[in-house]
Amino acid sequence: MSVGYVLKEGFAGLGRAKLAAFTSMFSLFIAVLLIGVLFRIGYNAYEVSQVLKQQVEVEVFLQDMDNSSIDRLQNMLLQKPEVSGLAFISKDSASQVFQQEFGLGSETIARLDFLPASFRLTMSDQYQVAQIDSVVTEIRGLEGVDEVRFNLALLQTIEERTETFFIAGIAIGLFILFVAMILVFNTIRLTIYAKRDLIKAMKLVGATNAFIRRPFLVEGVLQGLIAGSLASLLIYTLFELFIPQFIPQVGVLSWPFGKWYFLVSGTILLAVVMGWWGSRWAARRFIRDAKVG
């Protein structure tokens, strides 16, 4: 089979049902644009949630202990995989921190030397809230630990909101994808209908379904390539050039995986796959039957 014939017919298919092809490409454009924007926002929301989780510290207040006991407890805490960082605050340092946090008038209370030494633990963001809560319970039972303070409610809220946003984003994205693919399906179906007599004649002379189907797959890929390229260009322009002019904070947000071209490439690839799959769906269904049309 000639590659030139397949490409020629694929491009020609865009002109046979111009309105339907435009509708399909516009739908793909809107679909991948919305999904790209959702992914960019979702990625940044996830990064913010991870930063907030890291800022929630676990304070471990100690009983009166000698230095060797403190070192031993510190080593035990650092061995826990959930603990990503640790800072030791001595009694003297605790008094200074107390004065800094409570300001003028707190010097007299700080001199009473009632503030205990403590560890401030930074928990890894790779673990769920339930796992962190479990290790906090373990820490409470360690020898030399007087009290543990941990804002469980805040972490639970961050995790729940992140999961809700994630689920809602996936649901919206899947719905958009489905609608766009239906429109591609209908476009290819109209193109097949316009060529129904030619398809019948090709089948009569022995052409296989796969041979007839390939130009329609090329047409779907072309629709996806055009729509994806335009959507990617607009996404880059919005987040890199336009929005930062009015909201400078957006300019400091990172692109997914650190580079703009990952999202742009993914958007184009998604549009091409959608166009290919929608055309394949229609072509397999309507060309399989010899009585097309």
Average pLDDT, the chain: 78
> Does the pLDDT value for residue 292 go beyond 50?
no
Cross-strand partners of 149:
59
pTM, rounded to two decimals: 0.66
Q: Could you give the 3-state DSSP secondary structure of residue 48?
A: helix
Residue 106's pLDDT band (cuts 50, 70, 90):
very low
What is the C-alpha separation between 222 and 22, in angstroms, rounded? 12
Q: What is the pLDDT of residues 119-168, one digit of tens each?
A: 888 888 777 778 888 888 888 888 888 888 887 777 778 778 888 888 88
Find the largest Cα–Cα distance for the chain.
101
Q: Indicate the pLDDT class of residue 97, thresholds 50, 70 and 90.
A: low
CATH architecture group of domain 57-150 = 2-Layer Sandwich (3.30)
The alpha carbon dihedral of 9, 15, 16, 20 has a sign of positive
114 pLDDT higher than 60: no
With a cut of 70, say whether residue 184 has pLDDT above it. yes
Q: What mean pLDDT is predicted for residues 236-262?
A: 78
Residue 244 token pair: 């930062």
Angstrom distance (rounded) from CA 61 to CA 215: 71
- Residue type (1 letter), 92: D
Contact 220, 279 (CB under 8 A): yes
CA geometry: angle 265, 270, 274, nearest 5 deg: 150
Domain residues of the chain, as ranges? 3-50+158-287, 57-150
Q: How far apart are the first and last CA of the chain?
A: 25
- Per-residue confidence band for 234, with pLDDT thresholds at 50, 70 and 90: very high
- The amino acid sitting at 86 is L
What are the angstrom distances between the C-alpha of 260 and each of 21, 278, 284?
29, 28, 36
pLDDT at 20 over 80: no
